[in-house]
Amino acid sequence: MTTLIVDSFDPKRVDEDWTVTFNFVQRLGSNETISTATCTATVQQGTDASPENIISGTASISGTKVSQLIINGTNGVAYLLQCVITTSASQRLHGVGILDVTDTVKRR
């Protein structure tokens, strides 16, 4: 069975490099741990011929959380970020989030 976790991320500027984090705490059983994690990126909206290039390095596991460094991106593109984990109880869980990349500065 696959369980889906949906996250939302603040918009990222093209020139920023920062880490997104998926928290699986609500989906893990007592004493269950994350064994493996893989993060991928695809285009949700806009055009980027190589969306996988925003993923830098491998995902990092820390307790119930998985972190992934995101770099660059294309202005105006919304990326679908997916994190798939396998747990010590053989569950396969998905974390999903949308990340907008922009060069537009907005005043609050």
CATH number at residue 35: 2.60.40.10
Does 49 reside within a domain? yes
More confident call, 12 vs 6: 12
Mean pLDDT of the chain: 92
pLDDT tens per residue across span 76-92: 999 999 999 999 999 99
Does 73 reside within a domain? yes
DSSP for 50-64, written as a single string: -GGGGEEEEEEEETT
CA 65 vs CA 12, 25, 60, 85: distances in Å: 21, 7, 8, 10
HSE value, Cβ hemisphere, 13 Å, CA-based, for 24: 32
Does 107 reside within a domain? no
pLDDT tens per residue across span 50-65: 999 999 999 999 999 9
Does 92 reside within a domain? yes
The pair phi, psi for residue 72, each rounded to 5°, is: 55, -130
Does 76 reside within a domain? yes
Does 108 reside within a domain? no
HSE value, Cβ hemisphere, 13 Å, CA-based, for 3: 13
- Domain count for the chain, please give it: 1
Does 42 reside within a domain? yes
The domain of 95 spans 2-102
